[in-house]
Structure 1
Amino acid sequence: MGRCCDTVRGLIAGSVVGALVAVLGAILIPVGNNVIQSTVKKEAVIEPGTTAYENWVSAGAPVYRQFWLYHVLNPMDVVTNGATPEVKERGPYTYRTRYLPKENITLFENNTVSFSLPAEAIFEPSMSVGPEEDEVTILNLVVAGAFTVIPKPLHPVVNQLIKKTNSSLFQTRTVKEVLWGYIDPIQKTEVGVFFPYNGTYDGPYNIYTGKDDISKVSTIQTWQYNSKLSFWNDPYCDMINGTDASSFPPFLNKKKPLFFFSSDICRSVSAEYSGSHNLKGIEVYRYMLPPHTLASPKVNPDNMCFCRDKEITKDCTMAGVLDVSSCRDNYPIYISLPHFLHGSPDLNQAVLGMSPSEEHHSTYLDVEPITGFTLRFAKRLQVNMMYGHSKAIEVLSKVKDYTVFPVVWLNETAALDDETADRFKKELVSRVDMLENVQIALLSLGSASCVLLAIAACVVHRGRSTIA
């Protein structure tokens, strides 16, 4: 009888120990989370000596810009007969960009830091379909721009200049000239889709370091010394929201969108969570621009202040394009997603050859949810120009009015390499996984031991009672 009692007591004691082990595992959950949060908050601050600062000063992964130019297949038919233009994309022509570290970095006592982003582009032949000297027939930037920039009473003068220089609505240029600049025979100055670029700077930016409040880290305080834009003449559209998209405050919430400002499109946008992905063994949250980003104000009222010309946009019902002329020296430049993805049907009908694809033409960010670091991204934009009918300009006398014409689309991409991924996993992911495994093991072992030993004690106790 005494031996049986000892067995029951031992089983009960073991069950209690199992319960304590399970409790220890449960206790480790908040303790472990606090340790992780404390470490991340410390290392995510943008100041010398932190992991974030080292990655922030210079992009660790190479950043590439791929360009596809829209080659016009029927230029003479468009000009002489008013035919619908037909295009075929040529590309990619790939350049390495953003390989230079940030410059003029200045830390301030109010927990902000200012910097400038130098712009340089190096051609990558091995990642391109051909050399920069490849020729394409594209829209003539100056002739198209003259329709809007030059007042109509002066269109006869423009016509004489076009005829004198033997220019037309379309021109044949090399890829290098189209992208980075050439001397235009009409203006006698250098023009190009991205001219000037090399040797220029974006910024200066002033952002929060997160030292006093980690939820503000990387958030832009000012751009070009201003806390708001001056392009849209509206308090809402002129807001500068979020970061520059290279990183975000840590501990992401899937239900909340990420906000970022892009100087390429002269406005702030938001991205929404679309799913989780595995990137070299690291879980990342994918955020994508929602279709309503460039929706017409009739669909998305928040875009009303981005509608600048009701005649061109058909009383603000046109979707898919953003008039950025106010921040591009009043040139009639329109930004869209490639191939007018999510745009109005009129856009695709006005130019033949468009093939919008969600997979190939949408913009996304892959962000590590604990640190907020963007580990992979694809920023896809299309540069368009607008031209229209003009009785006084012969090369525009037969064309249809108000055509938003595609010139080039780009895909700016970057992803962490294997070495960076291994270091990231070693410094963060492996520690988090180890802590979680210990927590799970203690909870599982403790709970199982507690339950099994308690059952065993009950069985033994019942057996003793039956014998008695």
Structure 2
Amino acid sequence: MTRRSCAIYAVGIVCAHLLIIGIGLVVAQVFQTLIHNRLKREITLTEGSRVFETWKNPPPPVFMQFFFFNISNPVDFLAGRKPVVSQVGPYTYREYRPKENVSFVENGTKVSAYQPKTFVFHPDQSVGDPDMDMITTINIPAVAVMNKVKDSFLRSTMASMMMNSLKVSIIMTRPVNELLWGYKDPLLTRVRTTNPEIDEYFGLMYKKNGSNDGEFVYHTGEADYMDYGKIATFRGESKLSLWTSDQSNMINGTDGSAFHPLLSKKERLYIFSPDLCRSIFMEFEKDVEVKGLPAYRFTPPRDVLASKDENPDNEGFCVSPKECLGTGLLKVSVCRKGAPVVASFPHFYLADEKYSNAIEGLNPVREHHQTFLDLNPTTGVPMRASKRAQVNILVNRVPGFPKTKFLNETIFPVMFINETVVIDDVSAAKLQKLLLMVTLVSNLPLIIVGLGAVLLLVLICLIIRERKQKMTTNEKTFYSPVCNKGSDDKNGDNNVVMTPITEKS
């Protein structure tokens, strides 16, 4: 057997083995299963894991933007006309949120932590000075006091007289800084003389700078990777007791900072929000790219804040039939000390049009007012997020308070927040390397099949070349005439004999 024949046989054997092994690995998904199991073991809330340190102290900067609605026709509004508002903002703060008092509980199957938040003002990303800029808006303490005593004629009469003596109106003008971080309210100070449990200070973010929401206990994800980062208990409780159904009181999902790896587009992600006093869910919207890395965008659908008529599951969020609002709104007075606070998306995005139409100056736009979460599907790492929520106050006529006699029931927007985060460059580079390794290992069987296919092409070329050379050799073999001189001389004639002559190639 010639060297060329041996080479053909060798290539054929190697090619066959590569194709058989590669196709077998592709069908069995051996390497993909191995790398997925490795990810499930690595992405856990345990000491020494790949994600534990970044979970405790997230490196990407978080920014909190505050936008206020300034009412320009307060007199007309109190007379029963449609309020006209203009958006003022943003006032931007850098948010620091490292986890503290991290400790493992229940034999290391869960981890507890507190998450204090600290806010530092960033003037270069803000529209003005929060100490100097004035906002005219609803007097939330006054509305809260009126709603607290409205069922008692005696108490409402006394409160009305108190408001008149203090010259407290339903509309107030305050600096941004006071509205956010708190000020001593004269009405609350007077009420506190008879109700010591009442705090005389009020602010939309009062006592939230440097404080925490309470203790969270999380699943580590070791037992089941799908439970990674999910909240087991909040403030020592596994469920809430604020709402009227067991389903509404459930604490589902994570705190929004961690999600399990190997995400599916079909799944529904749950996030528990202490600010909303409930869990919300998000669904896949589209594929996006963040800093060159693939991500799935999840957003809350209309069903999250739909009315009980559109989504019967939301009936449990109605504290009473009278307090069950329309689509796009959630009354959170149960966790706001009875104040008529209503949560929504900014500019009443995804809400019934009647709410945005009742306020002149609102224009809901998805790009500016949608809450979204971009997650890397392989690792579950948040790549980019924007949490947007609006604080509203329900104002209407209150018996016993003449100042409200011309008011129409209105969900008045006070402020909305935009809490954003984008993965930093260092973390993105680390994730890029990890995804490259995952891709290479997962696609190793395909690489083997590809090499086998290349060798198959080489084998075909060698076989074709071998056949061509054999045909060429046969064509170069021919016969030439040779004379038998001895016989010719004697007989006087020529005998021609054909002798094969082969040219050497």
State if a TM-score over 0.5 links the two structures. yes
Contact 1:148 1:387 in 2 (8 A): no
Deviation at residue 182 of structure 1 after TM alignment: 0.8
Matched-pair contact (CA < 8 Å) for 1:375–1:416: yes
User: Are 1:359 and 2:367 an aligned pair?
Assistant: yes
Say whether residues 1:104 and 2:111 are aligned partners. Answer: no
Q: 1:210 to 1:437 in 2, by over 3 A?
A: closer
- Within-5 A mapping of 1:27-66: 30-66=29-65
CA distance in 2 between counterparts of 1:69 and 1:379 reads: 16
**Cα distance, 1:460 vs. partner?**
5.8
TM-superposed deviation, 1:206: 0.6
Cα distance, 1:457 vs structure 2: 3.6
Question: TM (normalized to structure 1)?
Answer: 0.91
Q: Would you say 1:261 and 2:272 are equivalent positions?
A: yes
Structure 1 residues 148 and 23, CA, compared in 2 at 3 Å: closer, same or farther? farther
Alpha-carbon offset, residue 439 of structure 1: 4.3
Contact 2:323–2:331 (Cα < 8 Å) also in 1: no
> 2:350 matched to 1:342?
yes
Moved more, 51-60 or 149-158: 149-158
**Amino acid corresponding to residue 158 of structure 1 in structure 2:** A
Instruction: Tell me by how many angstroms 1:193 deviates.
Output: 1.3
Q: Which residue of 1 aligns with 2:288?
A: 277
Question: What residue identity is the alignment partner of 2:290?
Answer: L
Q: Retained in 2: the 8 A contact 1:111–1:209?
A: yes
Q: Percent identity, please.
A: 33
* Map of 1:121 onto structure 2: 119
2:171 corresponding residue in structure 1: 170
Q: Residues 384 and 404 of structure 1 are in contact (CA less than 8 Å); yes or no, is this contact kept in structure 2?
A: yes
Counterpart of 1:21? 18
What amino acid is the match of 1:86?
A: V
Aligned-partner SS, 2:216 = strand
SS in 2 for 1:342: coil
- Deviation by residue 1:374-407 (Cα, 9 ceiling, x = unmatched): 122100000111111135313211111x321111
* 1:295 partner amino acid: A
| Equivalence map 1:35-434=2 (5 Å) | 35-79=34-78, 81-97=79-95, 99-108=96-105, 109=107, 111-133=109-131, 134-152=133-151, 153=153, 154-188=155-189, 189-313=200-324, 318-400=326-408, 402-426=409-433, 428-434=434-440
CA separation in 2, counterparts of 1:176 and 1:48?
41
CA contact (8 A) 2:372 2:387 kept: yes
The SS at the match of 1:409 is strand
Distance of 1:74 and 1:349 partners within structure 2: 16
Q: Distance in 2 between matches of 1:139 and 1:94?
A: 22
Larger Rg: 2
Would the alpha carbon gap of residues 166 and 225 (structure 1) be closer, same or farther in structure 2, given more than 3 Å must change? Answer: same
- Report SS of the residue matched to 2:186: coil
Distance 1:270 1:462 in 2: 68
Name the CA shift for 1:191/1:125 in 2 (closer, same or farther; >3 Å): same
Provide the C-alpha distance between the structure 1 equivalents of 2:319 and 2:240, rounded to a whole number of angstroms. 15
Which structure 1 segments of 5+ residues have no match? none
Amino acid at match of 1:367: L
> In 2, distance between residues paired with 1:259 and 1:390?
38
Aligned to 1:249, the other structure's residue is in SS state coil
Tell me the CA shift for residue 247 of structure 1. Answer: 1.1
Query: 1:59-109 CA distances to partner (integer Å, 9 max, x unpaired)?
Result: 211111101001011011111x21111111100001122x14211211020
TM-score between the two structures when normalised by the length of structure 2: 0.85
Alpha-carbon contact 2:31-2:444 (below 8 Å) kept: no
Letter in 1 for 2:217: N
The answer for unaligned runs of 5 or more in structure 2 is 190-199, 476-505
Q: Distance in 2 between matches of 1:121 and 1:18?
A: 63
SS at match of 2:337: coil
Give the alignment's Cα RMSD to 1 decimal: 2.4
Per-residue CA deviation, residues 436-459 of structure 1 (Å, 9 max, x unaligned), is: 565444322312432562476479
Is this contact kept in 1: 2:244–2:319, CA < 8 A?
no
Distance 1:240 1:344 in 2: 27
Task: Specify the alignment match of 2:456 in structure 1.
Answer: 450
Distance 1:351 1:155, change over 3 A: farther
Using a 3 Å threshold, how does the CA distance of structure 1 residues 147 and 463 change in structure 2: closer, same or farther? Answer: farther
Which residue identity is paired with 1:75? P
Compute the displacement of 1:118 (Å): 0.8
Separation in 2 of the partners of 1:138 and 1:292? 30
Question: CA offset at residue 155 of structure 1?
Answer: 2.5
Deviation string for 1:288-345 (max 9, x for gaps)? 11121111111111111112343354xx5x1110011111111111110000011112
Distance in 1 separating the partners of 2:302 and 2:6: 66
Number of residue pairs matched by the alignment: 458
Q: Structure 1 residues 128, 27: closer, same or farther in 2, change over 3 A?
A: farther
Please tell me the residue identity of whatever aligns with 2:456.
C
1:202-255 deviations in whole A, cap 9, x for unaligned? Answer: 120111112222221111110110010111031110011111111111111111
Query: Which secondary structure does the structure 2 equivalent of 1:199 belong to?
Result: coil
Q: Which amino acid aligns with 2:415?
A: V
Measure, in 2, the Cα distance between the counterparts of 1:25 and 1:362: 45
